[in-house]
Amino acid sequence: MGQTLIMTGTQAAALAARLSRVQVIAAYPITPQSKIPEVLSEYVESGQLKAELVRVESEHSAMTVCISASMVGARVFTATAANGLAYMHEQLHWAAGARLPIVMPVTNRGLGAPWTILNDMQDTIAQRDTGWMQFYCMNNQEVLDQTILGYKIAEQLLIPVMICFDGFRLSHTVMPVETLTEKEVDGFLPPYKTPYKIDPQNPVNMNPVVLTDPIPDPHGELCPSYMGFRHRLQETFENAWPTIQAATREFTQLTGRSYEDCLYRYQADDAEMLFVTMGSLSSEATEAVDALRAGGTRAGVIGLRVFRPFPAATLAQAVSRAKILLVVEKAISYGYEGALNTELKAALFHENGNRPAIFNTIVGLGGKDVKPKDLEQIARESAQEASKGTVQTHPRWFGYGI
């Protein structure tokens, strides 16, 4: 076991990259992730990490550098947030379509316009359908652990992964983090090997135009259509859980820290009212739950660690005994509601048909503080609505003033 150190989320992400022995890093500044490339530059320049550091001129190029370097067999890393992530959008699709195991921490930040540098989750939720896995972290320990786990999982599934953690709340807040030694990580994470080799004797054309129907290659073997390739990606997502669980189990053996459950559960077993949240909101909600329980309300928390693949069955099962679900989110799908709320309802519909009272509350956009007592208030007021039999038609926006 490594030392326990006090560090910020960005330092944890950079340390995870070093421990994972990333070989190519694309660096570009954007608040609140800028410390990650800064720390990595120090690592590389001081010789603590042997890697090619490409100080690109944009995030579009950052992701492109990762794509091309990963394609020829390097373990690659970059980090971003908000407008930087949005600027990568085209390349996010390309990375997933090309099946490249890129790992990218994202310090969640609100998007312009108007400008904000502060935290919400609109940036990563808006990239939900790009074909990336998305892991959400509750604290800086998870940032370190999930980044290392990210490589382990991504390189088996050949799907890229975003390690999402709240800007400032985690990125700039120091917390104790139990580190791992280089030897431990080396044992856990073998060097990345592509399932193919770039060979001048057997040249290939990678990611060319693919047609709508399968076509035979020169040897007569039928090759996939465009939809065939897309279906393979979806199929890998659908069958991803055993790989994710095996990786987390091995990680637990190494560190004693368990992420095998894709949900963080706090006082959830007997809860009649459950917060369903992601990221640091899950930590925040535990305090609200303690207060609610002290007042006699059996409350609990379910925090999603993994949003893609979506843990529909596990989530539906986890909330099946609660009568009231409080889906508190820092992102909105304009014209409808929070994405997590929609997906939770779909999961219930498919998995067990339960119809608890569900209240979607949008909080914390652009860094608006969400305190445990705010969550308590949301819980109490939602319970009152539930007792009146109110069915929510639109999400509630909490705490925006005017």
Stretch that binds other proteins, among 68-76, 146-154, 266-274, 329-337 (CB under 8 A): 68-76
Stretch that binds other proteins, among 20-28, 162-170, 309-317, 327-335 (CB under 8 A): 20-28
Return the structure tokens found at 33.
Answer: 């992730």
Tokens 């067990």 appear where? 352
Q: What angle do CA 5, 9, 15 make, to 5 degrees?
A: 60
Look up residue 395 and give its DSSP letter. Answer: P
Please identify, using beta-carbon distances, which residue of 93 and 298 lies nearer to other proteins: 93
Distance in angstroms (rounded) separating the CA atoms of residues 352 and 340: 18
Tokens 């069958």 appear where? 239
Does 72 bind other proteins (CB under 8 A)? Our answer is yes
Q: With left for phi above 0 and alpha for psi between -120 and 50, is residue 272 left, alpha or beta?
A: alpha
Does 61 bind other proteins (CB under 8 A)? Our answer is yes
What 3-state class would DSSP assign to 353?
coil
Q: Which of residues 321-350 bind other proteins (CB under 8 A)?
A: none
Q: Which of residues 87-106 bind other proteins (CB under 8 A)?
A: 90-91, 94
Site string for other proteins, 168-187 (x = CB under 8 A): --------------------
Stretch that binds other proteins, among 70-78, 113-121, 259-267, 382-390 (CB under 8 A): 70-78
Site string for other proteins, 38-57 (x = CB under 8 A): -------------xx-xxxx
Please identify, using beta-carbon distances, which residue of 85 and 274 lies nearer to other proteins: 85
Site string for other proteins, 137-166 (x = CB under 8 A): ------------------------------
Distances (CA, A) of 179 to 65, 143, 172: 29, 11, 18
Neighbours of 252 (CB within 10 A): 13
Does 227 bind other proteins (CB under 8 A)? Our answer is no
Does 272 bind other proteins (CB under 8 A)? Our answer is no
- The alpha carbon of residue 365 and the mean position of all alpha carbons in its chain are separated, in whole angstroms, by 18
Stretch that binds other proteins, among 108-116, 168-176, 204-212, 242-250 (CB under 8 A): 204-212
Sheet containing strand 306-308, edge to edge, reads: 52-54, 24-26, 76-78, 103-108, 161-166, 133-136, 306-308
Footprint on this chain of other proteins (rule: CB under 8 A)? 23-24, 26, 51-52, 54-58, 60-61, 64-74, 76, 90-91, 94, 198-201, 203-211, 215-218, 223
